[in-house]
Structure 1
Amino acid sequence: MNRIKELQDFIVGQETDITEFDEALVKKLIEKITVFADHFTVEFKSGTTIGIEA
């Protein structure tokens, strides 16, 4: 729960319009990205995983 609270506080402090790559934000939010031939998955540190078609 502390980790989730820390991530929420970090997100609240970010600008709402992200117009360029933000390495600090990526390091805070993303655990792992797995690339396949036809899609990739993004696993967030919160445990949520999403699949994205290529």
Structure 2
Amino acid sequence: MVAFLEEMPAASTEYSEALTRRLVERITIFDEKIVVELKSGLQMEVEE
């Protein structure tokens, strides 16, 4: 993962499918919110 990130530009402004697949474990969609879980265990919630 470190080698992959070192190859990326310092400030990426474009979507990267490869980076997304390496970082995101799962995305769960509920009626009232979306939960994004990263492979590191960090979870982010987005509520409407």
**Normalised-by-shorter TM-score class:** 0.7 to 0.9
What TM-score, normalized by structure 2, do the two folds share? Answer: 0.74
Pick from 8, 28, 31 the counterpart of residue 14 of structure 1. 8
1:23-47 deviation digits (Å, cap 9, x = unpaired):
1011100000000112100000001
Kindly report the root-mean-square deviation, in angstroms, between the aligned alpha carbons of the 2 structures: 1.5
AA partner of residue 18 (structure 1): T
Identity over aligned pairs, percent? 33
What TM-score, normalized by structure 1, do the two folds share? Answer: 0.68
Give the total of aligned pairs: 46
Residue in 2 that maps onto 1:35 = 29
Measured in 1, the distance between the counterparts of 2:45 and 2:5 equals 22
